[in-house]
Amino acid sequence: MIVDLPDTTTSQISKTLVKVREEGGVVALGRVLTLVIATAPGGEEEAIEAANDASREHPMRVIVISSDPDEAPRTPSRLDAEIRVGGDAGASEVIVLRACGDAALDEESLVMGLLLPDAPVVTWWPGMAPGVPAEAPLGRIAHRRITDASTQADPQAALHALATSYHPGDADFAWTRLTLWRAQLAAVLDQPPYEPVVGVTVTGAIDSPSTTLLAAWLRLQLDAPSTCVLTGIESGSHGIHGVRLDRPGGTIELVRDVPGVATLRQPGQPVHDVALPRRSLRDCLADELRRLDPDELYGEVITRGIALLDAREAEGVHA
């Protein structure tokens, strides 16, 4: 069910939400958190779809703020809202706020009256993120703050900006997308022979901040010289391409030439195909919502690991 509230106020939205719950039998019991999504006009539905899917694992209230602060001085102040419950909201209740004019300039005031009492708050910027998420109006009220460097105009620059602005509680989907790669590499290195890694090379597209983070993680964990090779994307090959680990007894290679499948080559062992699909937006969001405490490993990788890399950005040159 979708209830439209044109030209409304936060107070009217809150009253309508209570009325909808009473009349439709929808209750807020069991909601474990409030997810605030800050997006530009036109980006609401993709984010809501991911949140609805993730809500089946994490029942929550979703508050979507759709605004364009750059347009605010040129448009009259107005707040339009939608309340979505039932089949239109997964296992959550979704409140969509479309703010214009002065109403778009005070995002914190828009959401404060709609937060679940005594429940953690997570703020997610699916697109353009503030320079310092922890100091943004919606970041100050959140226990966790989620960004996505891959959606920025310059993903690599955005990643380095996150490194300088990091506060405990920050997270980025560039790190979340590495879960399967990290698990596979850890499993390989947990097998004999237990030789030290003397060199690491990670290759990927220049629009893939995950490639840089993977190299930074390996640099910290293995204490070995690591090189991140970023290539152009003219051939349409995005994301991480592969990892090479050099050891005295030979080289381990995990290369993804086919979407969703990587080839693992190890000295003295047969070649294996390993499932390494790219994680969906829903998977990344659900993963980040599983923890509401700061991700200390991510903080260490983004603040220390990136600075240790021998980065070679070879845009337009394919490895």
- Give the rounded percent of residues in the chain with a pLDDT score beyond 90: 72
For residue 147, count CB atoms less than 10 angstroms from its CB and return exposed for 0-12, middle for 13-18, buried for 19 or more: buried
Mean pLDDT throughout 103-111? 89
* Residue 78 near residue 7, CB atoms below 8 Å: yes
> What's the whole-number average pLDDT of the chain?
89
pLDDT tens per residue across span 49-63 = 999 999 988 889 999
pLDDT tens per residue across span 248-306 = 999 999 999 888 999 999 999 999 999 999 999 999 999 999 989 999 999 999 999 99
Structure confidence at residue 15 (pLDDT): 92
pLDDT tens per residue across span 178-188 = 999 999 999 99
Q: Give this prediction's pTM.
A: 0.91
Neighbour order of strands in the sheet with 199-205 = 272-276, 260-265, 250-258, 240-247, 199-205, 226-231, 310-314
CA distances from 212 to 240, 242, 316 (A): 9, 12, 17
Strand bridging mode 144-147 / 170-172: parallel
